[in-house]
Amino acid sequence: MLLALLVRIIFIFGPYHPDLGNHLDWGNRFWQYGPKSFYSESIWSVSWPNQPPGTMYLWALASLVNKLIFNFAWYLNLKIPVFPSTLIPFLQNHLHPALVKIPSVLAEVGIGWIIYSLIKLFSNQEKKALFGASLFLFNPVTIYNSAIWGQTDGLINFFSLLALFLFFKRKYFWAILSFMLSIYIKLSLIIFLPLFLLLFLREKIRLIKVVAYFLIAIFCLVIISLPFVQGNAFSWLKNLYITRVFGGQGNMLTANAFNLWAIIFGIDFSRPDLGTFFGVTYKYWGIFLFGISYLLTLYGLFKKKFENQTFLLSFVLIALSSFMFLTNMHERYLYPAFPYLSILVGEGIISFGWYFVISFIHLLNLYNLWFYPRINFLINFLEFDGIVKIFSLTLLFLLFFLFRFLIESRPKLKNN
């Protein structure tokens, strides 16, 4: 874990994706506008905020820490003659982006610890636990996402995976609260909610108890949202998710994801998901295909009597299915599959070869269009006609293969 942290720290002061311009701007303007009028302001350097308050708290904290550290360094520069003045422009250019990357960097190390703990819980084998955790911690996909790009995927997946770990430890309320925190930061992992509800069904937890836990968790999130609220807190938060979060995600057919739509149309940002096929928009075709995938996953779960193996594989399948079939998918949105894949490979349930192929294709997908670091032969390779479609088709084939594996394989992990 320390080595994985060190590797990421090496990269956080380097270049970052232009997407981070939003995070830097939102954090700075949080203090300029104040939380009460934050979402109603109209002047933004990049784009208006379309994420929940949990994200804004993170960027506000990063902005505040950046200001405190920079002001302290400036004070030392003025007062102490031997202070290295060259540090000031370095901090001015790199400190704030590095601080924005830190939450996901720490979260990924935390994911490694949870993977290790879950494998130990299932098999009580140290070598398997270390192997599974190392697969995730030293996967270039995760390092590129957090330490180089600076995205929040590591953070939201940490809370989702922590929820699963807390569930297996029978800390049910804290599991629900952890999952709700993931949604409070970003809505991406709402796709896992039915699987978590089925886990409660498997354990025969009383419905009234589950509902009460969810209501308490929602109430906690409403309380910490109060600084932003204008009017009724529950109505304001509901309206924020409907209009800003759900309503502010765009309508591209594919946002650089190597998926079904890339197979058919290639990577074309000008093509919206409002086009039709047999009178039905691509958006709804995507939802339909994802729904079929979910039903197949649920069928596998019921067939295997909710074994732990099938639940872990189900998280992989739902993550991969949403990436492959839903429209407006960004390249980063395959990330949620990797923590669960790492557990399954560490346990010896899924082969390392599958993990390697999915990781390799996803890394190329992350690299595509940003092209950092600039490697000319790799850029030319990805721009070669048809190569994106070949990689996308390979992922689709692997998805079908995993569905077959879910339905036909025998359970191997004991229930806890």
Residue 412 has pLDDT above 60, yes or no: no
Place of tokens 């954090």: 27
Distance CA 374, CA 371 (A): 5
pLDDT of residue 409: 64
Tens-place pLDDT, residues 255-305: 999 999 999 999 988 898 888 888 899 999 999 999 999 999 999 998 888
Residue 209 has pLDDT above 50, yes or no: yes
pLDDT of residue 411: 47
Is residue 300 located within the same domain as residue 416?
Answer: yes
| Core vs surface per residue 154-191: b (16+ CB within 10 A) or e | bbbbbbbbbbbbbbbeeebebbbbbbbbbbbbbbbbeb
**First-to-last C-alpha distance (Å) of the chain:** 26
Is residue 151 located within the same domain as residue 265?
Answer: no
Phi, psi of 40 (to 5 degrees): -95, -10
Is residue 145 located within the same domain as residue 165?
Answer: yes
Is residue 230 located within the same domain as residue 112?
Answer: yes
Q: Count up the domains in the chain and report the number.
A: 2
DSSP 3-state of 256: strand
Is residue 215 located within the same domain as residue 317?
Answer: no
pLDDT of residue 230: 85
Is residue 45 located within the same domain as residue 77?
Answer: yes
Q: Which residue type, as a one-letter code, is found at position 129?
A: A
Mean predicted confidence (pLDDT) in 313-323: 97
Q: Is 410 left (phi over 0), alpha (psi -120 to 50) or beta?
A: beta
Q: Nearest Cα to 121, choosing from 167, 85, 190, 155? A: 167
Is residue 312 located within the same domain as residue 391?
Answer: yes
Mean predicted confidence (pLDDT) in 150-175: 96
Is residue 154 located within the same domain as residue 298?
Answer: no
Tens-place pLDDT, residues 29-54: 999 999 999 998 989 998 889 899 99
| DSSP class of 192 | G
The secondary structure of the chain in percent helix, strand, coil, rounded to multiples of 5, reads 75, 0, 25
Residue 341 has pLDDT above 60, yes or no: yes
**What does pLDDT average to over the chain?**
92
Residue 414 has pLDDT above 50, yes or no: no
Residue 236 has pLDDT above 80, yes or no: yes
Q: Specify burial of residue 121 (Cβ count, 10 A radius: 0-12, 13-18, 19+).
A: middle
The model scores a pTM over 0.85? yes
The four Cα atoms 31, 146, 214, 163 give a dihedral, to 10 degrees, of -140
Distance CA 243, CA 48 (A): 12
CB atoms within 10 A of CB 90: 12
Lowest mean pLDDT among 12-16, 320-324, 394-398: 12-16
- Give percent above pLDDT 70 in the chain: 97
Domain boundary among 249, 282, 309: 249
Domain boundary among 190, 222, 249: 249
Is residue 260 located within the same domain as residue 241?
Answer: no
Is residue 166 located within the same domain as residue 195?
Answer: yes
Mean predicted confidence (pLDDT) in 129-143: 97
Please, where are the H alpha helices in 147-192?
153-168, 172-185
Lowest mean pLDDT among 18-27, 87-96, 219-228, 403-412: 403-412
Tens-place pLDDT, residues 167-204: 999 999 999 999 999 999 999 999 999 999 999 999 99
The four Cα atoms 236, 243, 288, 295 give a dihedral, to 10 degrees, of -20
Mean predicted confidence (pLDDT) in 125-154: 96
Is residue 303 located within the same domain as residue 368?
Answer: yes
Q: Which residue type, as a one-letter code, is found at position 132?
A: G
pLDDT of residue 305: 81
Please, where are the H alpha helices in 241-386?
260-265, 282-303, 308-325, 337-346, 352-367, 376-383
Distance CA 285, CA 186 (A): 24
Domain boundary among 229, 249, 269: 249
pLDDT of residue 357: 96
Say how far residue 415 (Cα) sits from the centre of its chain: 27
Contacts 24+ apart (CB under 8 A), 195-200: 195/311, 195/314, 195/315, 195/318, 196/163, 196/164, 196/167, 198/298, 198/301, 198/306, 198/311, 199/164, 199/167, 199/306, 199/311, 200/172
pLDDT band at 308 (very low <50, low <70, confident <90, very high): confident
Mean predicted confidence (pLDDT) in 130-137: 97
Is residue 232 located within the same domain as residue 278?
Answer: no
What are the CA-CA distances from residue 49 to residues 41, 60, 222 (Å)?
9, 13, 18
**Residue 34 lies in domain:** 1-249
Place of tokens 């935390």: 110
pLDDT of residue 248: 61
Distance CA 141, CA 86 (A): 33
Q: Nearest Cα to 136, choosing from 290, 358, 284? A: 358
- Give percent above pLDDT 90 in the chain: 77
In this structure, are residues 149 and 199 in contact, taking their beta carbons and an 8 Å threshold? no
Mean predicted confidence (pLDDT) in 295-316: 90
Residue 415 has pLDDT above 60, yes or no: no
